[in-house]
Amino acid sequence: MSDGTRTAPTRRTPSEVVLRIAAGGPALVALSGGVDSSLVAALAVEALGPSAVAVTLAGPAVGRAEVEAARSAALAVGIAHEVVPVDPLERPEYRANPTNRCYFCRSVETASLLAFGRGRGLVQFLDGVHVDDLSDDRPGLRAMDEAGFFHPLAWAGWTKADVRVEARVRDLPNWDRPSDACLSSRVAHGDPITAELLHRVEAAEAVLLGRGFRRVRVRVRANGARVEVDPGEVARLSTEPLATEVVRELRALGFDPVSVDPRGYGASRRENPEVVR
């Protein structure tokens, strides 16, 4: 259900969004644990009460921390929550990692969500796409449109900044949580994706997160890894002995060479937009 969300929609109020969701009937919310989908879950609960269910997909491209963040978000907004396994690696097109990789991933994921929801009498399927997401070329969003997902935040004309404001008003604990993306977004297009590689990427990012860095990307090409942290944290990552320790631990995971992007997180994202969850 695109509902005109690809055009510039009129700015709508939270009450209007709740009414729109209520009119659609029992709903499944694709919940990643990020602020966008968490806000949609909160709006769905307000609109539908127990007729709203949140579903988080778990698989090799989804970090365990993201699944736990989704559990916490569901508990915070009071929505029923299920974790459903899915494996986009079953599709050879996804494993080949072309530039439209996200289309094949989302096709697998939406099929799982539709099957789960329809089996429980749910008739509308909601996600956390907002207006800012519509400005990039996002093959994954095309797959969600084809599957009939409705984007309440985009329909409302809300930007990411609007989402954070409303989430803070509603006291969502993750209102300022950095955006995340699937682990496959770290792998350079054309390099094959395997479950083993995704596990190593997750472990590498855990090395940085465990040292207090708030937002981390370990981007992989061939055997090498490029580390990104927020621009304000690049200097700390470059100091000794931390720099040497991080390089040593990432090499132990099989990445070589290991480098730090001096520009920090953001520059490469503008060059290669991620599908944010």
| pLDDT 10s digits, 79-98 | 999 999 999 999 999 999 99
Instruction: Examine domains 14-169 and 183-271 and report if their fold is the same.
Output: no
Angstrom distance (rounded) from CA 32 to CA 113: 13
- CATH tag, 14-169: 3.40.50.620
Angstrom distance (rounded) from CA 90 to CA 46: 37
Helices H, strands E: what count in the chain? 12, 7
Counting every residue, how long is the chain? 277
With beta carbons less than 8 A apart as the criterion, state whether 221 and 186 touch.
Answer: no
Ranges in the chain, pLDDT < 50:
1-5, 269-277
With beta carbons less than 8 A apart as the criterion, state whether 43 and 20 touch.
Answer: no
Q: Which residues, listed in sequence order, are joined to residue 226 by a DSSP beta bridge?
A: 219, 259
- CATH tag, 183-271: 3.30.70
Phi first, then psi: give them for residue 242, nearest 5 degrees. -60, -45
Diameter over CA atoms, the chain: 58
| Token reading at 131 | 């207006």
| pLDDT 10s digits, 64-77 | 989 999 999 999 99
How do the domains of the chain map onto residue ranges? 14-169, 183-271
Which residue type does 192 have?
Answer: P
Q: Which residues, listed in sequence order, are joined to residue 40 by a DSSP beta bridge?
A: none
3-state secondary structure 169-217: HCCCCCCCCCCCECHHHHECCCCCCCHHHHHHHHHHHHHHHCCCCCCEE
> Residue 1: its pLDDT value, please?
42
Angstrom distance (rounded) from CA 93 to CA 162: 36
| Token reading at 121 | 């009498």
Determine what percent of the chain falls in helix, strand and coil, rounding each to the nearest 5.
50, 15, 35
Q: Please count the other Cβ atoms lying within 10 Å of the Cβ belonging to residue 149.
A: 22
Angstrom distance (rounded) from CA 134 to CA 157: 11
